[in-house]
Structure 1
Amino acid sequence: MSLRTALEQLGLGPCYHMDVVLGDPATHVPLWNAAQAGKPDWAAIYQGQRSAVDWPTASFYPELHAAFPDAKFVLTHRDPQSWVESISETIFAALLSRNDAPPEVHPWLDMCMHVIARAGFDPAMSKDELANRFIAHNEAVQAAIPDSQLLLFQVKEGWAPLCEFLGLALPESEFPRTNDRAAFWQLLEDGGATA
């Protein structure tokens, strides 16, 4: 969420995020299901968007690089154990409580499960397995995207590396910081995806 907010402050918004899917699941869940089936309609998915972050986009970096060969990619990285704690308390918690969710939310949860599995993750993995898979995913992204089009970025680095990579002026404001876990659960509440 911090990167999304930053990209929008830099004029690269609207920035596609899972909340777009939650805001219109009848349109976006089938689009992502089609992408998973090898029939993506990127123009329909990203209509009106100037950038994208997070899942479901992140699971399709090879296809997106092929479709948009001049695009720039930002790989946010962090301590693997910190990431495991975060994902375990957000999307994995939601997926593992699928049976407690209202039936109308199940198609969205199913799409999320498939998107995450596509990236090699499973909520049933141990914390060590998840950390190792996180490292492997980051390595796969670095192998697939040319160095000239890829920024390895930690949010704590602030504006300088991001703006330099994107060729944009540094804003006068501080780099945005959001609470990803709190933002995730608020997103689900706002999207009606909670039990």
Structure 2
Amino acid sequence: MSLMVIGTGFGRTGTDSMREALTMLGFGPCHHMWEVMAHAEQKRLWRAVAKGGAPNWAELFAGYKSCVDWPSAFYWRELIEAYPKARVILTWRSPESWWESFEKTILPAIVGSTDQESLGIALVANQVFGGRPQDRAHAIAVYRNNVEAVLNTVPAERLLVHKLGDGWAPLCAHLGVPVPHEPYPARNTRQEFRAALSPQ
């Protein structure tokens, strides 16, 4: 099994809904940060990569047909080369609305973490945002630069920009599959995000 779909959008751009949508369309299992958090081996493998280890994509994505969200979204340039037949999806929302969501969900989880091995710190805070995730102007600039890089790098015929609220039609057309009868999933609201991170 190799990756058939690669997501390039930051967390809080509808990635968990996209994960569920891809699974419903037959492109699951879909790799997402929740997968890393749920599996000790995934944590070990990705932490090694975040520290500069050479990634073994086949090992990191063993059993997965698609990937969205961090950590994989940070490595999209390498992944689109490693899987040249995979379709590419950029989940997107306006930079300002992205920050508003990020600031209330992922950012507190990173800032509040006491685990120095955390991928949230090693990858998201330090590598994605250069150690300045709390700097609104800087974080928004990083977000914009990622969007621009994807648009300038991925051939148009291989890329779908999927905006919040776009639903099934453009996604199914991009992947060449029929539109399901079920509604497009709406997952991982702020409340759900916080509940998932709360101690059980």
Using the size of structure 1 for normalisation, the TM-score is: 0.85
After superposition, the C-alpha distances for 1:32-58 in whole angstroms (9 at most, x for unaligned) are 133331511112211111111101111
Distance 2:132 2:81 in 1: 29
Gaps of 5+ in 2: 1-15
Q: Matches of residues 1-150 of structure 1 in structure 2 within 5 Å?
A: 1-25=16-40, 27-36=41-50, 37-99=52-114, 105-107=115-117, 109=118, 111-116=119-124, 117-120=126-129, 122-150=131-159
C-alpha spacing 1:147/1:35, structure 2 compared with 1 (3 Å): farther
The letter of the residue matching 1:175 is: Y
Distance 2:122 2:149 in 1: 19
Query: Secondary structure of the equivalent of 1:115?
Result: helix
Tell me if the contact between 1:77 and 1:152 (Cα under 8 Å) persists in the aligned partners: yes
Using the size of structure 2 for normalisation, the TM-score is: 0.83
After superposition, the C-alpha distances for 1:124-169 in whole angstroms (9 at most, x for unaligned) are 4432222222111111122222212111111301100000000010
C-alpha spacing 1:84/1:121, structure 2 compared with 1 (3 Å): farther
- Deviating beyond 6 angstroms after TM superposition, the runs of 4 or more aligned structure 1 residues are none
Query: Secondary structure of the equivalent of 2:165?
Result: helix
Aligned mate of 1:157, from 125, 141, 166: 166
CA RMSD of superposed structures (Å):
1.9
C-alpha spacing 1:63/1:96, structure 2 compared with 1 (3 Å): same
Aligned mate of 2:184, from 175, 179, 183: 175
Tell me if the contact between 2:133 and 2:139 (Cα under 8 Å) persists in the aligned partners: no
The letter of the residue matching 1:81 is: E
Deviates more, 1:143-152 or 1:174-183: 174-183
Gaps of 5+ in 1: 100-104
**How many equivalent pairs are there?**
183
Residue 30 of structure 1: CA displacement?
A: 2.6
Percentage of pairs with the same residue: 34
Distance 1:18 1:8 in 2: 15
C-alpha spacing 1:33/1:152, structure 2 compared with 1 (3 Å): same
Query: Secondary structure of the equivalent of 1:156?
Result: coil
The letter of the residue matching 1:62 is: R
Distance 2:34 2:164 in 1: 20
